[in-house]
Amino acid sequence: MFPIWEGVWVHSAMFIAIISAFHVLASHITVAAGWFNLFLERKAVYENRPELYAYLKRSALGLLVFAYVFGAMAGVGIWQSTTAANPRGISALIHNFVLYWGAEWYMFLIDVVGIIAYYYTFGRVSPRTHLKIAWLLALGGTGTLAIIVGILSFKLTPGNWLQSGLSLEGFYNPTFWPQLFMRFFLMFTITGAWALLIASLMPKNFPERERIIRYAAAFGLLGLVLALIVFTTWYYPALPEHARAILFTPAIPSPTFAVIQGGLILTALGLIFALSAPKLQHPLIALGAMGVLFAAIFGAERTREVMRKPDIIHGYMSSNQLVMTDVPAKGIRAEEQPLHERGMMKNLPFLQLPEASSLVGTQPVAREHQLEVGRLLTLQQCSACHSVSPQTSLQIGEKRLELRSLARLLEARNQTTQASIAAYLGAIGGFPYMHPFVGTEAERQAMAAYLAWLVSERRGMEQARR
Amino acid sequence: MLLVATFVLHIFFVTLALGTSGLSLFGFWWKKGNWPTLARLAARVTPNAVGLGIVTGIAPLLFIQVIYDPAWYTANTLTGFWSVAFIFVVMGGYSLAYLFYLKGSPEGRLLWAAAFSLALLFFAGWIMHVLASVSIYPEKWLQWYAPGGAVDTRGMHFHAYNLPRLTLLLPIQALLSLATVLMLLAWYFRKREDFDRSFLDWVASLGRRIALWVVPLFWLAGMGWAATQGRYFDLHGPMEIWFTLLALGLFLFYRSLRNPALQAPQALGVWLVALLNVGIMRELVRAASLERFGYRVAEYPWQLDWGGVTIFVLTTLVGVTVLAFLVGVLYASGSKKEGVEVSPALERLGSVAVGMLGAWFGFFLLLGVYTVIFLR
């Protein structure tokens, strides 16, 4: 176990979500833009339409400055943020898939060196040589997608890996294929919006402007339709029952679906508009489509993450970073049950403050110690998904931004005393998206004491503000 | 070894970004003689070096997370706020570098963007330095996590740093990477008729002069690192000897350069070897620190997993071929003002690279089908 980083003002999990959504937007653009640009460049070469290079060069500059490099940076950002927020989760992934990530690194290199070569060699090498670079960009981008989807989908459906420990079985897991194709198609929608933006920024008298807008809209719409078909006929049915059940629980706030569906509908309408009236296309419309898509992606990625709650890796490691299952093939032993029996305090690194040690025993303890121990346990068991202190909240006017604040949730459920909260904690595993409390009876009481204090503190703050 | 080798690539591009950023600022501020022309070239290099620095940084970061996981993860959680802020800082530095290159560098305007970019890129380096430093003091982790017994989960403190080490790794190495690339620029463009020969000679000689001036500082910073962190981990003796020999070797090499524009490839080779030596020293410090707690990389448990090995080895073959083609095209394309027809051999390599990358997908899909059908 590692120290806990809660986040500052913004909850640590929200940092991950923001960076991830941005990464998805940027990296998805690179993959499908590679294919879209290849499509246009083939036309430029084989149909002798050199005027298309003007668009390709502008698109390449945008991709170079924004999508490829920012995408790569945000990718590193995901590592940094997950390392800080949930180190054992990312550690489990990296230790299983280090060589897959190593392979993906080559694809990253191809992407970044490729886009630099692509942009800086326009007009400096023959069209056919340049076309080869376009092929490499399209294939390299798709390579990064293919590899990362294996690792991402492993978290929701580790499949036979739990028995065999073979990385291949974890990688080519039950939701790998549908997610791969769904994402691949959806990328064309994102790229459609991107291409609309670039094309609409071209001068009105650019001869290929309207045709490119039509191509982009058609690519985007086709991608959206295919992605929806894969989602409904392949991806959703492949989801484990547990994940499907979670979709309809309060774990996913209801506005999320409205944002996703609304985002997709608005994007589709925007693409239809572009297809039917390319002359009227304006950069602001394309920017709007990108913004709406970002919101939809944010909602969809959050939903994907929540679907495997309360686990980081479903059936293997819970959000509190403890391993819950033996994986004999890898020599991994479950940690939860022994800790449940012996207690968390003193049995995990960074959960052994000397002042708090007297709790592990039968002697009465000072209330301050009990609260500090309760705070530590709450941090360890709850802070991956919940705001457990004012440190991760942001007051904007009347609105307080928090991530599933525990104090607010407990108050809403009328669990405000130590006794009631202790009982509530005892039954918390009954929620499909919650994990049972791990620890001894004394530790449960300590946690309840801290949470009761937290509720009262929050009440006090609210009253003072009023 | 892979960790150190990939780190060399990463630190070369990172320090190059800092070096060219600093040079473009200075050149436009000084404005005399050839400086603005060189500053314009440097401004073009900076954002690309940042991009390459980021992407080459992924590999060593991956290896660190695997073999030094307890230390790296603890450092990141103890410094969580900055660990996460890092990427926003880099994005800011990169964006400003690009803004300056596209809108400012043609006429030497927007110097504020270049200055802020340099500051942010340096700050990003500082954050990584702090993370690396925190990771090698396990004896202080609990005290940093819970000062006075109360846990601090903000991760906002810069708990550990070492100024001589930082000075060596960033500004000093930045100047030496810059010096190397200046020589390379002169070497690369010397065949181009549109480049003034006297300008290129000046650039190459500037590179050599910078190197000669900076190597003594390199030695001083190295000795400072040895005297502080080296002494703490009982490594100061070997570090002092190592740095003295390294600095002496570098100094003699740079002094021996009679025609730096022609000898730039050797200069690059020598500088990469020097970076490799510094990288090894970094790892020795880390190993000496963790050894005190019985943590040895050589004893790290490793389970051979044929699936991962197969994918990695095959992708390496494909990746190296593709990258050789891309770098080859980039190299060839700049050799004449009006561009070039690349050589038939390079053209063939391109076809092979496209074919191999396409075939990679066939292999990837087949491996998946095999896993789904036969392994279950």
Interface pTM (ipTM) of the complex?
0.91
Residue A178: is the preceding peptide bond cis (ω within 30°)?
Answer: no
Residue with more model confidence, A354 or A420: A420
- Rounded mean pLDDT of B256-271? 95
- Terminal C-alpha separation, chain A: 40
Per-residue tokens: A378: 């709450």
**B-chain residues within 8 Å CB-CB of A142?**
361
Distance between CA atoms of residues B311 and A103, nearest Å: 7
**B-chain residues within 8 Å CB-CB of A113?**
52, 323, 326-327, 330
- Rounded mean pLDDT of A280-299? 87
Q: Which of A189, A180, A128 is nearest to A150 (CA)?
A: A180
pLDDT tens string B53-70: 999 999 999 999 999 999
Distance between CA atoms of residues A198 and A465, nearest Å: 48
pLDDT tens string B15-54: 999 999 999 999 999 989 999 999 999 999 999 999 999 9
- Whether A317 contacts A324, CB under 8 Å: yes
Residue type, A16: I
To the nearest whole Å, the CA of A443 is away from the closest chain B CA by 17
Lowest mean pLDDT among A391-395, A407-411, B28-32: A391-395
- Rounded mean pLDDT of A175-183? 95
Distance between CA atoms of residues A72 and B58, nearest Å: 9
pLDDT tens string B123-176: 999 999 999 999 999 999 999 998 877 889 999 999 999 999 999 999 999 999
If one counts every other C-beta atom within 10 angstroms of the C-beta of residue A401, the result is: 15
Residue in the structure block whose two tokens are 């894969």: A230
Q: What pLDDT score does B85 carry?
A: 96
Res A153 pLDDT > 80: yes
Give the H or E element holding residue B33.
none
Which residue among A76, A172, A353 sits closest to B54, beta carbon to beta carbon? Answer: A76
Q: Which of A82, A104, A148, A146 is nearest to A317 (CA)?
A: A82
Q: What pLDDT score does A356 carry?
A: 43
Distance between CA atoms of residues A269 and A279, nearest Å: 16
Q: What pLDDT score does B171 carry?
A: 97
**B-chain residues within 8 Å CB-CB of A94?**
62, 65-66, 69
- Whether B65 contacts B72, CB under 8 Å: yes
- Rounded mean pLDDT of B327-353? 91
- Whether A389 contacts A12, CB under 8 Å: no
- Whether A13 contacts A321, CB under 8 Å: no
Distance between CA atoms of residues A100 and A150, nearest Å: 9
When pLDDT is cut at 50, 70 and 90, the band that residue B368 belongs to is very high
Q: What pLDDT score does A353 carry?
A: 61
Cα torsion through A219, A224, A228, A234, rounded to 10: 40
B16, B239, B250 from B221: Cα distances, Å: 19, 11, 15
- Whether A103 contacts B305, CB under 8 Å: no
To the nearest whole Å, the CA of B67 is away from the closest chain A CA by 9
Helix (H) and strand (E) counts in chain A: 18, 6
Mean pLDDT of chain A: 89
CB contact under 8 A, A106 and B319: yes
Q: What pLDDT score does B123 carry?
A: 98
In chain A, the largest separation of any two C-alpha atoms, in whole Å, equals 87
- Rounded mean pLDDT of A102-123? 94
A237, B49, B57, B276 from B9: Cα distances, Å: 45, 11, 8, 9
Q: Which of B67, A308, A343, A87 is nearest to A316 (CA)?
A: A308
Q: What pLDDT score does A300 carry?
A: 87
Distance between CA atoms of residues B54 and A108, nearest Å: 10
CB contact under 8 A, A113 and B308: no
Res A30 pLDDT > 50: yes
DSSP per position, B318-349: HHHHHHHHHHHHHHHHTSSTT--PPPHHHHHH
Q: Exposure of A176 by Cβ count < 10 A (0-12 exposed, 13-18 middle, 19+ buried)? A: buried
Q: Which of A190, A110, A94, A116 is nearest to A142 (CA)?
A: A110
- Rounded mean pLDDT of A212-222? 95
Distance between CA atoms of residues B175 and B18, nearest Å: 8
Beta strands in A344-462 (DSSP E): 394-396, 399-401
Q: What pLDDT score does B329 carry?
A: 96
Distance between CA atoms of residues A317 and A429, nearest Å: 15
To the nearest whole Å, the CA of A3 is away from the closest chain B CA by 6
Phi, psi of A46 (to 5 degrees): -85, -25
When pLDDT is cut at 50, 70 and 90, the band that residue B352 belongs to is very high
CB contact under 8 A, B329 and A133: yes
Res A361 pLDDT > 60: no
When pLDDT is cut at 50, 70 and 90, the band that residue A362 belongs to is very low
Residue with more model confidence, A21 or B221: B221
Distance between CA atoms of residues A144 and B142, nearest Å: 39
